[in-house]
Amino acid sequence: MKAIVDRQKCTVCGVCTDVCPFGAISLKETFIEISDECTLCGMCVDTCEFGALSLPEVGTGPAEDLASYKGVWVFAEWREGTIHQVSYELLSAGRKLADKRGVKLSAVLLGHRLDQSIQEELVSYGADVVYVVDHPELAHFRDEAYSKAVVELIRQKKPEILLAGATSMGRSFIPRVAALVKTGLTADCTELDISEEGLMLQTRPAFGGNIMATIVCPNRRPQMATVRPKVMRPEKMKDHQGRVERMALPEECFKSRVEVLQVIPEQDQTAKLTEADIIVSGGRGLRKSENFSIIEELAQLIKGAVGASRGAVEEGWIAPSHQVGQTGRTVAPTLYMAVGIAGAIQHVVGMQGSKVIVAVNKDPQAPIFDVATYGVVADLFEFMPAFIRKIKQERGESS
């Protein structure tokens, strides 16, 4: 599917070919041609002053009784007995949305042998209702079983908004939920709000972080969005009251073609990236994989996590699980140290929420200094060993 050209109105001026970010529009002698590379972004439509371009009507489907959908839901991500921090962040964000809409906020909790204290914790972050589905087949995550369970809950309770974390779990099964209930999904949102018309405004970076797009879903329900961890701020609500509702779903919901044989947690000597208060990241300036030992030594010394730029990951110097940025992890630690990282926009998008940013780069014109709280213009191979030695000296440790 691609943009539509009205050849009666088109003057073949060529402006649309210049603005298309995907090179999908080519200029012929008497007409323009749009290839299958078109993503329906709409930039050409907005630019054409003759109204010769338009987008096809998509995703409306049959009319739906939107008024029957009420309430804001947050998927509470439970794994091996604990709730992911992003769930608390989303409950705080969802509380604001629910208050603006004048509806209840609910948490959806799936798992097995779910502890009562976990349910109480969800209430303390603003949930009015906690829908609990406790079943042996939900003990380990499988996207097929989880998606069918959530879809059944949606069909029974009809929420108008559903939020989930943009984690490996959320990214795996939430798109399946959206497809099964035939609604839209906005991924990796950085801001959520309610419009005057009552629609959820879903804002996310687009075109490599160069613009912020605000997306709405006016014709289908629920309105669905995923949000990266560390984007929203969790806020406990003292003395907030809520209730727990245990849901019994048909056994068909728990059937899956996948069997989990064993769960092997990732072993890492440093703290987990998305949960760390301190992150030390390395980029292409490190030159080779062996030099990441400098980053790892400092991270262990100050009890932080090891991060990396996309360039370092693409070079194969470090595993993709360490990548910070728009195509990696979004982080917001107390201290973020960028070593040998130029500061491309896709990296900055993933760490700009950090409280203090320290940049080390020998190029004084590097873009990373534009977002840094403190900048060190120096050769990292001279500065970093000296910095590590100084920390050890202050602590009375041997080098």
Pairwise pLDDT comparison (296 vs 270), residue with the higher score = 296
CATH number, domain 4-53: 3.30.70.20
The answer to whether 354 and 333 are in contact (CB under 8 A) is yes
- The answer to whether residue 2 scores a pLDDT higher than 50 is yes
> What residues does CATH 3.40.50.1220 cover in the chain?
269-398
Spatial separation of the C-alpha atoms in residues 77 and 90, rounded to whole Å: 11
Q: Is pLDDT of 50 > 80?
A: yes
pLDDT at residue 62 in the model: 53
Q: Residue 212 phi/psi, 5° resolution?
A: -110, 120
> What is residue 190's predicted lDDT score, i.e. its pLDDT?
84
Which superfamily, per CATH, for 269-398? TPP-binding domain (3.40.50.1220)
pLDDT at position 14, please? Answer: 86
List, for residues 312-333, the tens digit of each pLDDT value: 999 999 988 899 987 788 888 8
C-beta separation of 244 from 270 below 8 A:
no
The pLDDT of 273-297, averaged and rounded, is 91
SS3 state of residue 47: helix
pLDDT at 331: 85
DSSP, collapsed to helix, strand or coil, labels residue 108 as strand
Instruction: Return the CATH number of 66-254, one of 3.40.50.620, 2.60.120.10, 3.90.1200.10, 3.40.470.10.
Output: 3.40.50.620
In what helix (H) or strand (E) does residue 89 lie, and over which residues does it extend?
A: helix 85-101
Helix or strand or coil: residue 223? strand
Q: What is the pLDDT of residues 238-262, one digit of tens each?
A: 888 889 899 988 888 888 888 888 8
pLDDT beyond 90 at 73: yes
Residue range(s) of every CATH 3.30.70.20 domain in the chain: 4-53
Q: How far apart are alpha carbons 136 and 288 in whole angstroms? A: 46
Mean pLDDT of 128-149: 90
Nearest to residue 163, comparing CAs of 92, 64, 258?
92
Pairing of strands 129-134, 105-111: parallel
What is the pLDDT, as a whole number, of residue 266?
64
pTM of the model: 0.68
More confident residue, 376 or 22: 376
Between 135 and 60, residue with greater pLDDT: 135
pLDDT in tens, 221-244: 999 999 988 788 888 888 888 898
**Where along the chain do the CATH 3.40.50.620 domains lie?**
66-254
How would residue 336 be classed by pLDDT, with cut points 50, 70 and 90?
A: very high
Q: Where are the beta strands (DSSP E) in 178-262?
A: 185-189, 191-194, 200-206, 211-215, 223-227, 243-246
Q: Which residues, 6 or more positions from 321, have their beta carbon under 8 angstroms from its beta carbon?
A: 266, 273
Give the tokens for residue 32. Answer: 């323009």
pLDDT in tens, 77-127: 988 778 888 899 999 999 999 999 999 999 999 988 888 888 888 999 989
In the block, tokens 């798109």 appear at 175
Mean pLDDT score of the chain: 88
Q: Which amino acid is at 341?
A: I
Q: What pLDDT is attached to residue 209?
A: 58
- The tens digit of pLDDT for each residue in 4-15 reads 999 889 988 888
pLDDT value at residue 93: 93
| Strand 211-215 to 200-206 pairing | antiparallel
Q: What is the pLDDT averaged over residues 38-65?
A: 77
160, 64 Cβ separation under 8 angstroms: no
Q: Read off φ and ψ for residue 322, nearest 5 degrees.
A: -95, -5
pLDDT (0 to 100) of residue 398 = 63
Tens of pLDDT, residue by residue over 347-392, are 998 888 888 999 999 999 999 999 999 999 999 999 999 999 999 9
CA distance 309 to 344: 9
